[in-house]
């Protein structure tokens, strides 16, 4: 027997909220997310002191609801990540992409990498570890790493760079010793990334549905993000990525994502690794 809900939540409320979510994030919400929407947004109804989801929907229609829209997006976006997730991408970065860029960019001696959808920071810090380990290759180079997400809460966590010990258990011991230190005070029992991983790293809130105000990138990691979009939204975003990438730039996507029959601006060159072709 299903327990009674704290607040009334109708199909009309759900349809309004998922349409609003899609407008702001591009994420397509299917019918089976009804209960998920309730569980994640009930806390917002409670925090605002409202009596129902209908009142919450009305509240979001108010002209001054921008702050609450941020809270809604934060509540609904999924943030599942880990250090060196899909490790073959980081091996490709170190063994193929960076050596290639060193050859192609030898006149400018610049490398730009973007972690788009960085969540709580495990991906960009993993990228930063690879860059630090490639220091002999990149010695004297201007290397910058942009880490962005639509969710302001996870960005704050990423910037803090503090993780429960369980989150770093999968990192090999040499990396753990080099790049992390034990937390102290309120962070006792946790691991903190060392300052060297933060060098040349910028955290920024970016909504991928908006115009992308970023400098030209050599590499974009956008993994397990486009899977939530419909085909037309994927195509538009991939066009934006293509415009943001330098000629022959690299795009890394998630293991269950494919650009097949979505765009012809990228060529598959590895396991979910693409190169910009136009």
β-pairing, 217-221 vs 266-270, is: unpaired
- Which region among 10-19, 64-73, 214-223 has the lowest average model confidence (pLDDT)? 64-73
pLDDT of residue 3: 57
151 beta partners: none
CATH number of the domain where residue 119 is located? 3.40.50.150
Let me know whether 116 and 27 are in one domain: no
* 36: enclosing H helix or E strand: helix 34-47
pLDDT of residue 2: 47
> What is the pLDDT confidence band of residue 5, given thresholds at 50, 70 and 90?
confident
User: Is the Cβ–Cβ distance between 87 and 46 less than 8 Å?
Assistant: no
Number of separate domains in the chain:
2
Let me know whether 146 and 124 are in one domain: yes
Residue 178 in any domain: the answer is no
User: Is the Cβ–Cβ distance between 243 and 58 less than 8 Å?
Assistant: no
Residues annotated as part of the active site: 40, 149
Query: By CB neighbour count within 10 A (0-12 exposed, 13-18 middle, 19+ buried), where does 191 fall?
Result: buried
Location of structure tokens 């933060």 = 198
Asked whether residue 218 carries a pLDDT value surpassing 50, the answer given is yes
Let me know whether 134 and 240 are in one domain: yes
pLDDT of residue 80: 73
Region of 21 please: left (phi>0), alpha (psi -120 to 50) or beta: alpha
**pLDDT tens digits, 52-96:** 999 999 999 988 888 899 899 989 887 778 999 999 999 999 999
Residue 148 in any domain: the answer is yes
Structure tokens at 36: 């998920």
Give the whole-angstrom CA distance, residue 148 versus residue 168.
21
- Max CA-CA distance within the chain? 68
CATH number of the domain where residue 44 is located? 1.10.155.10
- Please state the separation of Cα 260 from the chain's center in Å: 22
Let me know whether 17 and 132 are in one domain: no
User: Is the Cβ–Cβ distance between 155 and 119 less than 8 Å?
Assistant: no
Let me know whether 65 and 119 are in one domain: no
Asked whether residue 1 carries a pLDDT value surpassing 50, the answer given is no
Asked whether residue 45 carries a pLDDT value surpassing 50, the answer given is yes
Residue 64: domain span: 11-76
Nearest residue to 239 via CA among 224, 223, 225, 251: 251
Share of the chain above pLDDT 70, in %: 99
Model confidence, pTM: 0.86
Residue 181 in any domain: the answer is no
**pLDDT tens digits, 97-114:** 999 999 999 999 999 999
């Amino acid at each position: 027997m299903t327990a009674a809900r704290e607040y009334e939540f109708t199909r009309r409320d759900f349809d309004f909220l998922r349409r609003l979510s899609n407008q702001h994030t591009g994420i397509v919400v299917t019918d089976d997310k009804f209960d998920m929407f309730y569980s994640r947004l009930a806390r917002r109804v409670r925090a605002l002191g409202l009596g129902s989801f209908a009142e919450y929907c009305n509240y979001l229609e108010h002209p001054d609801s921008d702050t609450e829209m941020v809270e809604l997006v934060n509540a609904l976006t999924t943030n599942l990540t880990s250090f060196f997730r899909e490790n073959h991408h980081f091996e490709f970065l170190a063994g193929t992409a960076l050596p290639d860029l060193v050859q192609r960019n030898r006149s400018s001696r610049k490398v730009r990498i973007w972690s788009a959808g960085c969540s709580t920071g495990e991906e960009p810090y993993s990228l930063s570890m690879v860059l630090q380990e490639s220091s002999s290759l990149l010695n004297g180079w201007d290397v910058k790493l942009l880490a962005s997400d639509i969710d302001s809460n996870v960005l704050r966590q990423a910037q803090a760079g503090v993780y429960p010990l369980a989150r770093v258990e999968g990192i090999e011991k040499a990396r753990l010793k080099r790049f992390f230190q034990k937390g102290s005070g309120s962070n006792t029992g946790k691991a903190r990334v060392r300052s060297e991983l933060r060098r040349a790293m910028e955290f920024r809130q970016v909504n991928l549905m908006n115009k992308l105000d970023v400098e030209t990138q050599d590499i974009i990691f956008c993994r397990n993000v486009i899977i939530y979009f419909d085909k037309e939204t994927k195509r538009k975003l991939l066009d934006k990525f293509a415009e943001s990438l330098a000629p022959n730039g690299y795009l890394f996507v998630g293991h269950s994502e494919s650009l097949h029959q979505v765009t012809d601006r990228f060529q598959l060159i590895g396991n979910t690794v693409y190169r910009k072709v136009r």
